[in-house]
Amino acid sequence: MTLTNILVYYLIAINIITFITYGIDKLKAKNHKWRIPEATLLLLAAIGGSIGAWAGMSIWHHKTLHKKFKYGVPAILILQIALAIYLLMK
């Protein structure tokens, strides 16, 4: 298995995990239960789950009014895309 394959599988997995985590947090918010810390949600986006975070925000309308999510998640995604382009151009 190549490093590229491992990276692709990692990105798929972390985005699925992030998407599900945002959904769980939204469900917990609706039921007034213990919540997943915002730092954890942002960390998941930062370690490669930004597409899953953005999808979770969009589909579940979760954290869309919080500025650090509204602007932070797209900023993380843009930085990750720029990094990927840079590494592919090397």
Which of 38, 14, 15, 16 shows the shortest CA–CA distance to 25? Answer: 38
pLDDT, one tens digit per residue, over 28-49 is 999 999 999 999 999 999 999 9
Per the structure, the complete domain to which residue 39 belongs is given by: 3-89
Quickly state the pLDDT bin for 1 (edges 50, 70, 90): confident
pLDDT for 55 beyond 90: yes
On whether the pTM is more than 0.85, the answer is yes
User: For the purposes of burial, counting CB atoms within 10 Å of the CB of 87, is it exposed (0-12), middle (13-18) or buried (19 or more)?
Assistant: exposed
Neighbour tally for 89: CB within 10 Å:
6
pLDDT at 6 (0 to 100): 95
Residue type, 32: H
CB 40 within 8 A of CB 70: no
pLDDT for 72 beyond 90: yes
Count structural domains, the chain. 1
